[in-house]
């Protein structure tokens, strides 16, 4: 497993790619190569977000899963308990990464 800072950097990079492809596809909606690249980038982003949520905390609300989030139980007041993990943190934009 990558460390938190490395994983967050990978999420940021693939998110930029997704956003860039989205802008391109807005004006070129039939471009097969761009559609393929978009699907691959989205799949990679979803996997990275899932990995991050499982090991640290969810970065988006659709990644919240009390059964699997924050397996390391870092940054939580509820270690060992099933709970709503959206409030575990601090989050990266709050200075939460190492």
* CA gap 50, 34 in Å, rounded: 24
What is the predicted pLDDT for the residue at 59? 85
* CA gap 4, 69 in Å, rounded: 14
pLDDT means per 10 residues, the chain with 98 residues, are: 87 97 94 95 96 86 70 68 67 62
What is the predicted pLDDT for the residue at 15? 96
Other beta carbons within 10 angstroms of residue 83's beta carbon come to: 15
What is the predicted pLDDT for the residue at 11? 96
Q: Where are the domains of the chain?
A: 4-94
* DSSP 8-class letter at 85: G
What is the predicted pLDDT for the residue at 96? 60
Model confidence, pTM: 0.75
């Amino acid at each position: 497993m990558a460390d938190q800072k490395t994983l967050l950097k990978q999420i940021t990079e693939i998110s930029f790619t997704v956003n860039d492809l989205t802008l391109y596809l807005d004006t070129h909606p039939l471009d097969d190569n761009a559609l393929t690249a978009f699907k691959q980038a989205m799949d990679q982003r979803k996997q990275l977000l899932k990995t991050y949520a499982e090991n640290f905390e969810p970065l988006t609300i659709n990644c919240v899963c009390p059964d699997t989030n924050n397996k390391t139980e870092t940054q939580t007041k509820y270690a060992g308990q099933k709970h709503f993990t959206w409030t575990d943190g601090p989050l990266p934009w709050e200075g939460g990464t190492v």
